[in-house]
């Protein structure tokens, strides 16, 4: 029998007749509550021995078959949040490669620790990707418990990277940008999508689902009509380069700027695949590309912030409803702060002079 801290509470775990049982004591994980938590654990074991806790028969099902049953449910469950479903499906695609035919009931914390190492060492993913993978797996195991494929959620025993550890934002240098787009010239769709992102700060999916009716070249405007929030649905002014790219893309019979045989032009997956090919080739040449397509949006935001654009305007350009979301892009240097104080001092002195107040030298 043992206690462990999970989610701010004491949880118990013990084995009875070669079967593991876990539970939440609903007591805060403070030293003062530990003795009472031990009593709750002992009570659970005693109730089990007396037959008051029913045991369940576990259905043996492979991880692959379990995911095949889980994903249709998840698609319906997250129909109001399709991006959440896509993220879960993408994360589980990697898990399927690793766990494949493992019985769901045998996947424990040790196997998941191995999965984390495999993702980090074989795929060189960052903590935020591992965090997404583990959250997707946690949702799957919650479903598995309800369907009697597992007794407990093994994610409860796994260390998940914190938000601070998982923060993944890369701002490209000029050298990285030049090198990357030289390599991306082989993939016209990828090249143009990412040039539009770095020019306009769009999300990748906002670019790949652009329709020609969203573009007004004469007025130099682009309208994001399919944003996931009210703030995301916005109108942007085109830069010189973005206007040139879109003018070329407006040619042809397709309704879409980036036509695709699937999903009516929404082919972020193809863009990510092309990016991964560039990364793989560069790695063979000894060059590590440590960023993803979304980082071109981060780069746009940081450059705009460094140019002195105020946070409300930056939030509007990015399609955020709050300035809190864009504060991470602002990294004022000592010189920025010095110049800001000089501007304030000049404005303050000018205001005093106009009001007739005396300002000491």
Task: Determine the Cα–Cα distance for residues 202 and 200; give it in Å rounded to an integer.
Answer: 6
Helix (H, G, I), strand (E, B) or coil at 48: helix
183 and 280 inside one domain: yes
In this structure, how many other beta carbons lie within 10 angstroms of the beta carbon of residue 186? 12
Domain that holds residue 234: 174-304
What phi and psi values does residue 246 have, to the nearest 5 degrees? Answer: -70, -35
Q: How much is the pLDDT for 265?
A: 43
Q: How much is the pLDDT for 200?
A: 97
Owner of token pair 């770095």:
198
Residue 316 inside a domain? The answer is no
Decide the pairing of beta strands 215-216 and 19-28.
Answer: unpaired
pLDDT along the chain (361 residues), means of 10: 79 77 80 83 75 64 94 90 84 92 90 92 83 93 90 87 65 94 96 97 92 96 86 95 96 89 58 90 92 92 89 93 83 76 81 59 51
Q: How much is the pLDDT for 53?
A: 53
162 and 183 inside one domain: no
Considering its fold, how many domains does the chain have in total? 4
38 and 85 inside one domain: no
Q: Tens digit of pLDDT for each residue in 233-285? A: 999 999 999 999 999 999 989 999 998 765 444 566 678 889 999 999 999 99
* Closest alpha carbon to 155 in 112, 120, 190: 112
Contact yes or no for 13/4 (Cβ under 8 A):
yes
178 and 161 inside one domain: no
Q: How much is the pLDDT for 346?
A: 83
Residue 309 inside a domain? The answer is no
Q: Tens digit of pLDDT for each residue in 318-329? A: 999 888 888 878
Residue 42 inside a domain? The answer is yes
The token duo for 122 is: 């074989």
Residue 240 CB burial class (10 angstroms; 0-12, 13-18, ≥19): exposed
State pTM to two decimals: 0.57
What phi and psi values does residue 13 have, to the nearest 5 degrees? Answer: -150, 130
Q: How much is the pLDDT for 352?
A: 62
Contact yes or no for 188/173 (Cβ under 8 A):
no
44 and 76 inside one domain: no
192 and 259 inside one domain: yes
Task: Determine the Cα–Cα distance for residues 144 and 6; give it in Å rounded to an integer.
Answer: 20
Residue 312 inside a domain? The answer is no
Residue 232 CB burial class (10 angstroms; 0-12, 13-18, ≥19): middle
């Amino acid at each position: 029998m043992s206690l462990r801290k999970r989610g701010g509470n004491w949880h118990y775990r013990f084995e009875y007749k070669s079967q593991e049982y876990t539970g939440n004591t609903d007591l805060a994980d403070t030293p003062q509550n530990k003795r009472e938590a031990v009593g709750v654990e002992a009570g659970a074991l005693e109730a089990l021995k007396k037959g008051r806790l029913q045991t369940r028969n576990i259905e043996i099902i492979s991880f692959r078959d379990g995911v095949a049953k889980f994903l249709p449910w998840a698609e319906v469950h997250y129909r109001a949040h399709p991006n959440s479903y896509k993220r879960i499906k993408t994360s589980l695609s990697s898990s399927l490669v690793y766990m494949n035919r493992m019985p769901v009931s045998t996947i424990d914390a040790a196997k998941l620790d191995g999965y984390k190492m495999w993702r980090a060492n074989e795929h060189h993913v960052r903590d935020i990707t591992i965090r997404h993978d583990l959250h997707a797996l946690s949702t799957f195991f919650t479903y598995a418990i309800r369907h009697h494929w597992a007794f407990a959620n093994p994610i409860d025993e796994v260390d998940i990277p914190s938000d601070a550890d998982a923060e993944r934002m890369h701002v490209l240098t000029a050298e990285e940008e030049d090198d990357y787009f030289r390599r991306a010239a082989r993939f016209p769709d990828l090249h143009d999508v990412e040039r539009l992102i770095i020019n306009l700060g769009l999300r990748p999916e906002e670019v790949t689902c652009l329709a020609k009716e969203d573009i007004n070249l004469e007025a130099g405007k682009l309208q994001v009509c399919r944003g996931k929030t009210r703030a995301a649905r916005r109108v942007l002014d085109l830069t010189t380069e973005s206007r040139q790219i879109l003018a070329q893309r407006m040619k042809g019979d397709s309704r879409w700027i980036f036509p695709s045989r699937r999903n009516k032009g929404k082919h972020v997956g193809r863009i990510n695949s092309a990016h991964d090919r560039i990364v793989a080739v560069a790695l063979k040449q000894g060059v590590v590309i440590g960023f993803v397509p979304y980082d071109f949006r981060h780069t746009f935001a940081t450059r705009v912030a460094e140019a002195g654009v105020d946070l409300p305007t930056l939030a509007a350009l990015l399609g955020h409803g709050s300035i809190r979301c864009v504060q991470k892009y602002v990294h004022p240097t000592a010189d920025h702060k010095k110049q800001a104080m000089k501007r304030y001092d000049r404005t303050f002195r000018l205001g005093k002079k106009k009001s007739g107040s005396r300002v000491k030298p």
